[in-house]
Structure 1
Amino acid sequence: MAGLSTPKQKLSALIITYNEMGYIERCIDSVSFADEIIVVDSFSTDGTFEYLMDHPKVKVIQNPFENFTSQKSFTLKQATNDWVLFLDADEVVTKSLQKEIIATINNPEADEAYWFYRKFMFQNQPLNFSGWQTDKNHRLFRKSKACFTDRKIVHETLEVDGKSGILKEKLIHYCYKDYEDYKSKMLKYGRLKAKEDFYKEKHFNYLMMVVKPAWKFFNHYIIRLGFLDGKKGMTICYLNALGVLERFKERKRLEKKNELAYYLVMP
């Protein structure tokens, strides 16, 4: 019928949190254009939950953290709209990206999901190299056409039933607040990756425990030009390599624990 127009598409902004004060405020402000903002918090102790409870535009739910994939899958189920924008608490949507998101979801020929390139920030200063030049993630997608695969429990992967496009504008990622904060994240990721390896029956290897972290540092600092980021690049590349080392240490601990449990139940 003449005169009818396509209804404006509604958008749900989804975020998971744990102790994100100093990050979450900017993130929430940057997605205020969304029709709903849902945050799933895994029992923060730094005031994050209280901040979110008092925010007039946020619906916050607490849910125990098992791993990133299960937490994000739980969060996705809370969305009431088909189009979802899934962010990490340390990510920020710029005004230009906001406009591109709105135009994209209201395009009748839109794909089912979209990759975002990210601009990394180290204590509010750009980090231009250090292995992240080509980093991109699925952040905008139709809930009805995508789900998080259960084959990964960290660096979760989205499976899309359809096409994926790439947005032009970059998402800002405030990856580094201070040394201890980033170090704790890398160690946490390393331990979760070790569990993922353990479930896949990948066995601990002393040689790989030496080679893999060294390669991670060399690859990001030399090959991926981390040295051009100066001291920032050195710090990031070292901590990323430390996370890989922790992955092997944790895998060794898990194997020993499993062996001990086996011998304890032997007749």
Structure 2
Amino acid sequence: MSENSAIPKISALAITYNEEENVKRYIESLSFVDEILFIDSYSSDRTVSLAREMNIKVIERAFTNFSDQRNFAISQAKNDWILFFDLDEVITKDLEKEILATVNNPKSKVAFFVKRHFYFMGKRIHFGGWQNDKAIRLFNKNYCQYNGNLVHEEVKANGNVSVLKNGVNHFSYKNFDNYNDKLNLYSKLQAENLYLKKVKPNVYHLIFRPLYRFLWQYIFRLGILDGKEGFILAYVHSFSVFKRYLQLWMLYRKIE
């Protein structure tokens, strides 16, 4: 890890669950940081053992929701500057250099978006909404925390925010079942979030919201130009919207 005392120290945090195939690559890509910390939701594979073999601190903690898990990780970090990438995001050397330059001279900014280049079924996806995909991945913990959303959580920054020039490669797709499992989890947590907000589902939510999602992603955001992968993405994500409101309907009726 970094021994350059001239640059403010950085903590790299990650929440993990069954990520054994990504652990080594992720840790090796972060050789420039001063601390790496995993908050693991009791993985059933070798995620924890592999991390500990590489001298990474791991705290095992039951998963409640994404915001809670990420905010807990921040509370355990030793340093003010936080990197919070997922293990399926690959940090390039150009991004590494930009991160180090940025924390050394943040220019009154407290958080930075990183653009994400999304890969699905082995193909770089250029359209369908992913052309504008970015998330805050670098921030000063004294001014930032996650917003409390159960899923699709975002960093809430109390200060100026900017965007880094270099992006990260995002390999979210492992296999179809794994990707579908992720969408199922997101749908469940989104339904719980809507339930807490007392949103009641109706025919509009169950029929027209999924249809609009497909049209928005495949037609309006040009997912059609990504070929069959663009169609599959639009279909599975529109079905995920349907499942979100179906699960919300089931919550109101106490159906499991």
Task: Determine which of 216, 237, 240 is the counterpart of 1:243.
Answer: 240
CA-to-aligned-CA distance 1:25-47 (integer Å, 9 cap, x gap) = 32222222111110110001122
The secondary structure found in structure 1 opposite 2:237 is helix
Q: Which whole-Å CA distance do the structure 2 matches of 1:34 and 1:180 have between them?
A: 34
DSSP 3-state at the match of 1:115? strand
Q: Please state how far the C-alpha of 1:227 moved relative to its aligned partner.
A: 1.3
Greater CA deviation, 121-130 or 110-119? 121-130
Give the structure-2-normalised TM-score.
0.94
Q: Secondary structure at the match of 2:137?
A: strand
Listed as ranges, the matches of 1:141-160 within 5 Å are: 141-150=139-148, 152-160=149-157
Return 78-87 or 23-32, whichever deviates more: 23-32
The one-letter amino acid paired with 1:185 is K
- Please state how far the C-alpha of 1:241 moved relative to its aligned partner: 1.2
Alignment correspondent of 2:105: 107
What is the Cα deviation at residue 23 of structure 1? 2.9
Q: Is 2:195 the counterpart of 1:211? A: no
Structure 1 CA distance, aligned partners of 2:85 and 2:212? 30
Give RMSD over aligned pairs.
1.6
Instruction: Note if contact 2:7-2:100 (Cα within 8 Å) is conserved in structure 1.
Output: no
CA distance in 2, matches of 1:59, 1:110: 31
- Which string of whole-angstrom CA distances, capped at 9 and with x for unpartnered residues, describes residues 40-85 of structure 1? 10001122122112122x1111010000010001111111000000
User: Residue type matched to 1:174 in 2?
Assistant: F
SS in 1 for 2:159: coil
Alignment deviations for residues 180-211 of structure 1 (CA, whole Å, 9 cap, x no partner): 11111011101100000000000011232111
1:16-95 to 2 correspondence within 5 Å? Answer: 16-56=15-55, 58-95=56-93
Structure 1 residue ranges (4+ consecutive) displaced by more than 3 angstroms after TM superposition:
none
CA distance in structure 2 between the aligned counterparts of 1:121 and 1:228, rounded to whole angstroms: 15
2:199 paired with 1:202: yes
Aligned partner of 2:173 among 155, 173, 176: 176
SS at match of 1:257: coil
Within 2, Cα distance between the matches of 1:24 and 1:108?
A: 29
What amino acid sits opposite 1:9 in the alignment? Answer: P
| 1:123 shift after superposition | 3.7
1:256 to 239, 244, 253: 253
Aligned partners of 1:15, 1:238: CA distance in 2, in Å?
Answer: 30
Deviation of the 1:110 alpha carbon = 4.4
Using the size of structure 1 for normalisation, the TM-score is 0.90
SS of 1:240 mapped into structure 2: helix
Alpha-carbon distance, 1:108 to partner:
5.6
**Offset, 1:178:** 1.2
Task: Please give the secondary structure, in 2, of the residue aligned with 1:220.
Answer: helix
Equivalence map 1:109-128=2 (5 Å): 109-128=107-126
**1:133–1:66 distance in 2 versus 1, CA, 3 Å:** same
Q: What's the CA shift string for 1:86-110, capped at 9, x where partnerless?
A: 1112111110000000000001624
- C-alpha distance in structure 1 between counterparts of 2:21 and 2:203, whole Å: 39
Q: Distance in 2 between matches of 1:54 and 1:245?
A: 42
CA distance in 2, matches of 1:156, 1:212: 21
Structure 1 residue identity aligned to 2:92: T
Letter in 1 for 2:155: L
Counterparts of 1:108 and 1:179, CA distance in 2: 40
Kindly, what percent of the aligned residue pairs are identical? 39
Structure (1 or 2) with the larger CA radius of gyration = 1
Contact residue 205 and residue 242 of structure 2 kept, 8 A: no
